[in-house]
Amino acid sequence: MTTRFTIVGGRGFIGTALTASLRAAGHDVSIVSHGDDLAGRDLDHVIYASGIAASSASDPGYAFEVHVAGVARILARSRFTSLLFLSSTRVYDGAQSTAEDAPLTMRPAAGELYRVSKIAGEALCLAHANPAVRVARLSNIVGPSFASPLFLSDVLRQAARSGRAAVRTLRDSSKDYLMIGDACRYLGAIAFGGTERIYNVATGANITNGAIYDALAQLGVEIAIDPAATLACTPAIDVRRLRAAFGPPHDDVLASLPALYDAFAQHARAGV
């Protein structure tokens, strides 16, 4: 059965992958921007994938325009069957638990801009009367995101260009990583049949930088750790709700690194 989706931010890394995944499943997909005039339009199933990276959230006005004002306009002015707002597991920074119903902490500081704007977008969605307006909190999504400033993409980009990567985080640093294919599968399933208002979309187990460095070393990549490297760890994400509803992820991140490295290398050779 064909379903119509509207992907807000469908030209970004996650939005592009979602669009391809949904179209491959036979669905009709429209791509719009968070700034488009969507007033009065029937958008059917909406996935709000428009967002900025935490490292780019330096402009307060733009961060709130993308994460808050854009989704507020859709909620207030458009017609839709369901809406899934893509947030981040970064909202758990400082929290005592990473379960979806855990209390979150916020501080009115410049470095909190990304988290505060994501939480504000979530709050708008969760205040909506339609129970099909949901939130997906994504961990670090891994895939061929060639321009991303985030850690793993940066390491792969360096390695693909020179066979060497200079890193500034210690081997014991760790984060939760989820392959883009699994992220798309989960997000599509939540949009279709999610029964909860919030889902963590993550693997549920952190991978250390050391494991990543060792996997890349086996591919011939030289890893140079800065003498002033720091420890960067994020809390393990609670995925019991996600697993109970939609099962475990299909792809192993470390096992996928050789193919991902090849994709970055091909991109580097193409000089794009």
**Cα distance between the two ends of the chain:** 38
Q: Locate 241 and state its tokens.
A: 């709700």
CATH class (in words) of the domain with range 4-140+178-201: alpha beta
Residues in the chain: 272
Given this model, what pLDDT does residue 74 score?
97
Given this model, what pLDDT does residue 109 score?
73
Residue pLDDT, tens place only, 137-196: 999 999 999 988 889 999 999 999 999 999 999 999 999 999 999 999 999 999 989 999
Band of pLDDT at residue 37, cut at 50, 70 and 90: very high
Q: Locate 153 and state its tokens.
A: 């993409």
pLDDT at 124 over 70: yes
Instruction: Provide φ and ψ at 143, rounded to 5°.
Output: 180, -170
Delimit the domains of the chain by residue range.
4-140+178-201, 143-176+205-235+251-270
Does this chain's domain 4-140+178-201 share its CATH topology with 143-176+205-235+251-270? no
Residue pLDDT, tens place only, 59-113: 778 889 999 999 999 999 999 999 999 999 999 998 999 999 999 988 777 678 8
Contact call for residues 167 and 209 (beta carbons, < 8 A): yes
Contact call for residues 106 and 119 (beta carbons, < 8 A): yes
Residue 267 DSSP label: H
Residue pLDDT, tens place only, 200-234: 999 999 999 999 999 999 999 999 999 999 999 99
Band of pLDDT at residue 23, cut at 50, 70 and 90: very high
Given this model, what pLDDT does residue 150 score?
87
Domain 143-176+205-235+251-270 grouped into CATH 3.90.25.10: yes
Instruction: Provide φ and ψ at 12, rounded to 5°.
Output: -80, 180
Given this model, what pLDDT does residue 58 score?
66
Place of tokens 């993409």: 153
Contact call for residues 199 and 136 (beta carbons, < 8 A): yes
